[in-house]
Structure 1
Amino acid sequence: MRKIIVSLFTTLDGFATGPKGDMGWVTDNFGENTGKYAHDQLFAADLLLLGRVTYEIMAGSWPSMTDDSGFADRMNELPKIVFSRTLKEPLTWNNATLAKSDIKREVSRLKDEPGDDILIYGSVSIVRELMKLGLVDRFRLWVHPVTLGASGADSIFDGYDKNELKLVDTTILDSGVVLLDYEPVTTSGA
């Protein structure tokens, strides 16, 4: 069974965005091991899941990007499933299609297909839905050395009383970002 991997930039105080959805707080210093980690994560996946906002941001920039490592080519070539109530097909980004059914049915079907990891970048509203449905297998939180306090917005854990997670890996990147990999704790009979 394929795994759903949520890869999310976050602040020390748990926010995915600042005021008005900005991410200007993201560490600009993506050093050597940061790039390698991002590269390995992308190449371990064979499908991207995106919400409308993340899709529109990425589709507005990735198609024109190039690099020597093949990262941009991989990002543009991967199949992408987009969950949106407002977008209409055809979508403009290469290999992007709108989800054909409700999120539970679509993601459960995708997980049951043979293949590699399914990666979700950002897409907080989609992640929250998948969490409610118990469909997230791994949370990969890229914790940036900054706090936003009262100006922070969009924590994936907003609206949840308790989330039991098990730490499975920690990586300190040369950019100062700490990567925390968690898996949901499952209880028998749940």
Structure 2
Amino acid sequence: MGKIIVAMYLTLDGVMEEPSWTAPYWDDEIAKFQLDLLFSSDALLLGRVTYEGFAAAWPSAEDEEGFAERINKLPKYVVSTSLKRTEWNARLITSNVAQEVAKLKKTGQRLLVYGSAELIETLLRHDLIDELHLMTFPLVLGEGKRLFKENADQKMFNLQNVRSTDSGVLIASYAPDK
């Protein structure tokens, strides 16, 4: 059985959108954590907004660590009801999201989810998340899109690992309490 792995940047007040605020805290520990997640994954699972942002940025990106090359080569599954087509090695999922993702898990793939709060809510509601990696940055933005809405379903998770980086970012890894 495959796994659904969520990796998310958050502020102390739970904001997750447009993470340009991560730059002052970025360090080698975060980069290694992200590289390890990406290189241990078989495909990306993305919502439309994240897909569009990534597809605009990554194809022309270059780096010495191989992150750009890897993210560009990985297959992508994009959940959207409004997109009509995808590029960048992506396949569109337009309906029955939980069923389609469950089928993908049965193929044994490790699917990495970046961003995509609404997709994450759907995955949580259907108990499809196997790993949740939250990178909490030491700042409060006061406004912005939150990872979980106020009426999100209650789900219990068990802490698997936590560490802090030299820049003060907490990397906490959780597994669902099933």
Q: State the TM-score, normalized to the length of structure 2.
A: 0.93
* 2: CA distance, partners of 1:59 / 1:161: 31
* 2: CA distance, partners of 1:15 / 1:101: 27
Q: Which residue of 2 aligns with 1:140?
A: 133
Q: Which residue of 1 aligns with 2:74?
A: 78
Which of the numbers 86, 103, 109 marks the counterpart of 2:103?
Answer: 109
* 2: CA distance, partners of 1:161 / 1:52: 22
Q: CA RMSD in A?
A: 1.6
Q: Is the 8 A contact 1:140 1:182 kept in 2?
A: yes
1:135-176 CA distance string (max 9 Å, x none): 111110010111123x13222253225331111111212332
Percent identity reads 39
Q: Which amino acid aligns with 1:135?
A: L
The Cα shift of 1:28 comes to 3.2
Q: Which residue of 1 aligns with 2:5?
A: 5
Q: Is the 8 A contact 2:3 2:108 kept in 1?
A: no
Q: Write out aligned runs for 1:9-158 (5 A).
A: 9-17=9-17, 22-89=18-85, 91-93=86-88, 95-99=89-93, 101-115=95-109, 117-149=110-142, 151-156=143-148, 158=150
* 1: CA distance, partners of 2:82 / 2:144: 26
Give 5+ residue unaligned stretches, structure 1.
none
* 1: CA distance, partners of 2:157 / 2:45: 22
* 2: CA distance, partners of 1:46 / 1:35: 19
Q: Is the 8 A contact 1:51 1:82 kept in 2?
A: yes
Structure 1 residues 31 and 100 mapped into 2: Cα distance closer, same or farther (>3 Å)? same
Q: State the TM-score, normalized to the length of structure 1.
A: 0.87
Q: Which amino acid aligns with 1:154?
A: R
The Cα shift of 1:58 comes to 0.5
Q: Which amino acid aligns with 2:7?
A: S
Give 5+ residue unaligned stretches, structure 2.
none
* 2: CA distance, partners of 1:172 / 1:96: 34
Q: Which amino acid aligns with 1:132?
A: R
1:71-98 CA distance string (max 9 Å, x none): 1100000000001111112x232x1110
* 2: CA distance, partners of 1:173 / 1:157: 28
Number of residue pairs aligned between Structure 1 and Structure 2? 178
Structure 1 residues 161 and 99 mapped into 2: Cα distance closer, same or farther (>3 Å)? closer
Question: Does the residue aligned with 1:179 lie in a helix, a strand or coil?
Answer: strand
* 2: CA distance, partners of 1:88 / 1:30: 35
Q: Is the 8 A contact 1:140 1:181 kept in 2?
A: yes
* 1: CA distance, partners of 2:92 / 2:165: 34
